[in-house]
Structure 1
Amino acid sequence: MTELSTHPINNKWPAKDPKLLQLYSFPTPNGVKVSIALEEMGIAYEAHTVTLSDTDVKSLEFLALNPNNKIPAIIDPNGPDGGPIALFESGAILIYLAEKSGKLLGSTAHEKAQIIQWLMFQMGGLGPMFGQLGFFFKFAGSEWEDKRPQQRYIDEARRLLSVLDRTLDGKEWIAGPYSIADIAIGPWVNALDFYGTKAVTGFAEYKNVVTYLDRFMARPAVVKGRQIPPRTP
């Protein structure tokens, strides 16, 4: 990719310190994964608020960074092979940052495989299904007379919570050591509160998940990272 100074993103969200990793995000469950990871790993970065409005995510500047017009995205001026790298997709960014820092991706090949497995569980299951639940329970889909779609995602959310609950039995974190898998899963479990769906999913029944979320939310890097970037620039 081109240097940060000549990248179109810099026209709308100029870097104060172009030597730092640049984060373009918004504090959604997907967005805060990266800010939490950066805080946990101790990587210096600069955060830019990219709202979910079309004027931001569908701007030519942002599309030049992420053609899929979704947050988060990053530019690391100190990328592999001595050059800058631009990345989108939160799961890909988490793996990149873990490998860059040497943190939160396990200490053995076995642990790494397990961590990536549970990261993919969040990316392919927990996030999309919980997001659909939010649409059909809190947002526009809640107004539909046909409640079958809503019930589908309530049932699927309960199934996924059951998977988490069984896996967490007797464990502190999902894949052994605290990892990027937990950073991916925690914000989405917490999203059930924002969607107002804890009661309908029977969240309190999943005791292992409840205590897991409490542990996650109490981490200092999580507390800080959930507020980055601010909702208003």
Structure 2
Amino acid sequence: MPTQAPIDVFSWPTPNGHKVHIMLEECRLPYVPHPVNIGAGDQFAPAFLKISPNNKIPAITDPDGPDGKPISLFESGAILVYLAGKTGKLMPTGDRARYDVLQWLMFQMGSVGPMLGQAHHFRLYAPEKLPYAIDRYSNEAKRIYGVIDRQLSTSKFIAGKSYSIADIAIFPWLRSWENQGITLTDFPHLKAWFDGIAARPAVQRGVKVMAELRKPLTSDASRDILFGKTQYEKR
């Protein structure tokens, strides 16, 4: 069997970036990480926009695509599905079980990421403290944690008996639970699952990828790049 050529991973140490780092580690796929410093504006570079037109990390280029030709992908959820299909790992083969995984993956993409991201923004990064926004997204964070906790009260993993891309997608977003106004012990089933996922060697390796590069967001220039007019310039 031919050796897999390394996958190029254009990323940054954020929850969405770590999803892909963890998946690559779990699947034991060779990869080369390329830092995209989103606080410095690297995500707007023309070369990056060619593979990630929404100017968001992560994105990948796999020289060994499905037809033997290179393929580039953006959106972390799509990348997880692709890597699961490529390796035959962390996605069930049966239709019912596969749809269970996909619905929880979509829950992460549509609820966990956006809502917890807003909680981070208004609790930590907004230039002024807006009580309505802080309360709204902090309460939504608690609701989402409750949804996950109830699911895990009857299921070992997010989507059933087996560890899958649904667990990989959700876990990195919960690592910042304190910043989201959450007390993790209020959700005992979730906490037991969280501690188990955090102990996995591949997860520990994945969350260390580029971790030393990320610095606290303190400068006005970085805030403008991430949240201000720079985001909305025509390209």
1:182 is matched with 167
Q: Residues of 2 paired with 1:230 and 1:185: CA distance?
A: 18
Gaps of 5+ in 2: 215-235
Partner deviation per Cα, 1:123-177 (whole Å, 9 max, x = no partner): 0000100010011111125x32x30111001111111111111100032211121
1:221 counterpart residue number: 202
Secondary structure in structure 2 of the residue aligned to 1:138: helix
- CA positional deviation for 1:40: 0.4
Aligned to 1:79: 65
For 1:221, the aligned partner's letter is: A
Residue 53 of structure 1 and its aligned partner are, at CA, apart by 2.8
Q: State the partner residue of 1:8.
A: none
Distance 2:210 2:66 in 1: 25
CA shift for structure 1 position 212: 1.0
CA contact (8 A) 2:81 2:165 kept: yes
**Corresponding residue for 1:203?**
184
Provide the aligned C-alpha RMSD in A.
Answer: 1.7
Structure 1: runs of 5+ lacking an equivalent: 1-17
Separation (CA, whole Å) in 2 of partners of 1:171 and 1:49 = 36
Post-superposition Cα deviations, 1:69-95, rounded to whole Å, max 9, x if no partner, equal 111000000001111100000000000
Q: How many residues align?
A: 210
Q: Partner of 1:28 in structure 2?
A: 14
Aligned pairs for 1:79-228 within 5 A: 79-140=65-126, 143-144=128-129, 146-176=130-160, 177-193=162-178, 195=179, 197=180, 200-228=181-209
1:133 and 1:35 mapped to 2: Cα distance?
A: 24
Amino acid of the residue matched to residue 217 of structure 1? Answer: A
| 2-structure distance, mates of 1:202, 1:55 | 34
Residue 228 of structure 2 is matched in structure 1 by: none
Runs of 4+ in 1 over 2 A off after TM superposition: 200-203, 229-233
AA aligned opposite 1:25? S
Contact 1:49 1:230 in 2 (8 A): no
| DSSP-derived class of the 2:213 partner | coil
State the 1:232 CA deviation. 3.4
